Amino acid sequence: MAISKERLEKIAGNIGNARILILGDIMLDEYLYGTVSRISPEAPVPVVEISEEQLRLGGAANVANNVAALGDKPILLGTVGEDDASIKLSQLLKSRGIDRDFLINDKKRRTTIKTRIIAHSQQVVRADREDAVEISDDIERIIFDRFKSVIDDIKAVIISDYGKGLITESLLNKVIPACREKGIFIGVDPKESHFFNYKKVSVVTPNHHEAGFVAGRRIRTENDLKDVGKTLLEKLQSESVLITRGEKGMTLFTAAGEVAHVPTVARKVYDVTGAGDTVIASFVTSIAAGASLVEATIISNCAAGKVVGEIGTATVSVKDLKEEIRRFTAEH
């Protein structure tokens, strides 16, 4: 891949002029930090003495946070409950400069909360509070009406599917054709159970476990990888498939027959929480800034290498991104 540092930095510098709609499952991430010095006498589990609490944006809200951190204008569309968690989430969005006008309050659903307990830089346990059932027809109608109200003002759509019920087949059957008619780029961070509902999108970004599972073939070798990538492209009829491979980097498959391997730039991996959110956000913002599919892959790989070095969900700024690009081009 003969792509120069100057070209990649130019693309990164162009990020910040697009409105990007994020449609997906919105969550509140709660982090409890502490230390362990003893085992509970009640059960063979560690006792974590909590010293710090943090609330962060999760799920589709973290994707929006990543888009905002890079300088683009996110429009976050999804549901929350009518509860304290939705109020806290709205406050977090406001603090990040993200509009909450497209959040739909659903009286029948709780706001999803994921609570992680961290001790000595390691996650000890996670507890989820959620109602992971499909949204009602009425809520789906409201979601699509809100989507249509901004379709002429957006450069791209990111579908952030965590399997919590917002992304229904019927909603996709309306959103995807509407985007294609307008020439709007569609990026999808998929859920295995819905995988083949994302037909004719611009890019799908499964990790290698997800990709192998839905293709019915475990990825052990490079030939396995190529077969899986080809299978997914054909079944999805998509413009591209980007398979993230952990310490092996990423591989892009395009409908034009291009296969591009991008090695990882991560030097330390503390936590992969939210890494997929960063990949899809940086990929789509790069496309909106004029990148090719291969260029967007390199840039999103650089962004992911940065966030996995942080504990919990993290974001990347354009400054961070340029530093990672310089490091990547120096190494490769």
**Confidence category of residue 268, pLDDT binned at 50, 70, 90:** low
In eight-state DSSP terms, residue 44 is: S
Q: For 228-257, what is each residue's pLDDT tens digit? A: 999 999 999 999 999 998 888 899 999 999
**Domain assignment of residue 159, yes or no:** yes
Helix axes 318-331, 293-307, angle to 10 degrees: 100
Active site (catalytic) residues:
277
| Average pLDDT score, the chain | 91
Residue 278 forms part of a structural domain: yes
**Contact present, 24 and 171 (Cβ < 8 Å):** no
Q: Is residue 38 part of a domain?
A: no
Asked, for residue 204, whether it belongs to a domain, the answer is yes
Per-residue pLDDT at 294 exceeds 80: yes
Half-sphere exposure of 264 (CA within 13 A, CB side): 18
CATH number for the domain spanning 254: value is 3.40.1190.20
Q: Is residue 39 part of a domain?
A: no
Q: Does residue 331 carry a pLDDT above 80? A: no
Q: Is 70 exceeded by the pLDDT of residue 121? A: yes
Q: State which residues form the domain around 254.
A: 5-26+58-77+136-331
Whether 324 maps to a domain, the answer reads yes
Torsion of CA 301, 307, 308, 309, to 10 degrees: 120
The total number of structural domains that make up the chain: 1
Per-residue pLDDT, 237: 96
Query: What pLDDT, on a 0 to 100 scale, did the predictor assign at position 269?
Result: 52
- Per-residue pLDDT for 311 more than 90? no
Residue with tokens 């509902």: 197
Q: Which is more confident, 76 or 316? A: 76
pLDDT of residue 94: 95
Is the pLDDT at 309 greater than 70? The verdict is no
Residue 110 lies in a domain: no
Q: What percent of the chain has pLDDT over 90?
A: 78
Let me know if residue 91 belongs to a domain: no
CB distance 105 to 84 below 8 Å:
no
Buried-exposed string 303-319: b where 16+ CB fall within 10 A, e elsewhere: bbbbbbebbbbbbbebe
